[in-house]
A and B are shown apart, each in its own frame.
Chain A
Amino acid sequence: MVIECKHVWEHISGYLDATLPPDVLEQVQKHLEHCEICSAILDSTRNILILTADERVFELPLGFSERLHARLEEEIRGLAP
């Protein structure tokens, strides 16, 4: 069965997570083989997920850890005489 682009888009997330049922996966793969646009959407989505998961995107503020542990220490000393 041939599926259209917009149906492929609904499965992009499942494709990336490898959770598509075998029959759907086969249809999507067949479509991707000949559809430049869907392939580019898939590639760009995958690429964007790799970038957004990178630790450098959100950095801890300078001194975050020191301030956190100092506050915890106060709490711990207060609770445990």
Chain B
Amino acid sequence: MIEHQTLGSKIFDVINLIVLIVITLLCIIPLWYILCISLSNKTAVDAGIVSFWPVGFNLFSYERIMGEKAFFVSFWISIKRVVLGGIVGVGCILLVAYPLSKSIRQFPKRNLFMWILVFCMLFNGGTVPWYLTMKNYHLIDNIWGLVLAGSLPVFSVILVMNFFRNLPGALEEAAYVDGAGPWKTFFSIFIPLSKPVIATIVLFTIVGHWNEFFQGLVLSTKQANYPVQTYIQQMVVTTDFSTMNVEQIQQALKLNNKSLDAAKVFIAIIPILIIYPFLQKYFVTGITLGSVKE
């Protein structure tokens, strides 16, 4: 489009770019800050002189973490949870979504199951009944408690179902004519064609399990069973500086190490940063394709 640019329009372009860069920096600087804290020496951090560059650069906090077994135990619990939760979650999501993507003619009871799912998505019994149920199932201090507690992710089921429904029907008909049953059609036609949406739900399931802390807190009776987010949550809660005055902060600082805590926080971000390029690539297409029905 050829267009005469007025001066006002040019000024707007420059200001717009500056505003967008500032907004972008606001999203990344907090992470940079926590990294700087973790790389600074303890005295500088305690004095509050570290801002956006490490002061007295050292890797001491990271070395010290190596000696903290409890942190790695929780990290390992989170990894187990992500792997098991990913397999169970994605498997169930795909298998439930496929039949529900059929028409009522093909699957007469479809709408009944759909309503059950939607009702479960919109209504829940609340924290207390949920907790007591988990206790009755003996899922306290149990990795399967962390894997299963969230129940079937209905929203993801709907996302995948809508994606399946938008695939060309002719493909399925061709498979049927060739004598393929539902399992074969599912595995050799629908699954290979649904990579973007599968990638989306895999990544969302991983992120969801990795970030979850509340179930870890409520379903564990001892620290040794905390997933990593719960471990960090408990660590931070006990050292909330925001409501303390200077003397209280100095008191608290004698007992703990902000730089070390920051290093733990940063290590817990790393798995997300590793899968982030994949997340980035898929989630926009996954969401926009899955949420709109033709």
Is A bound to B? no
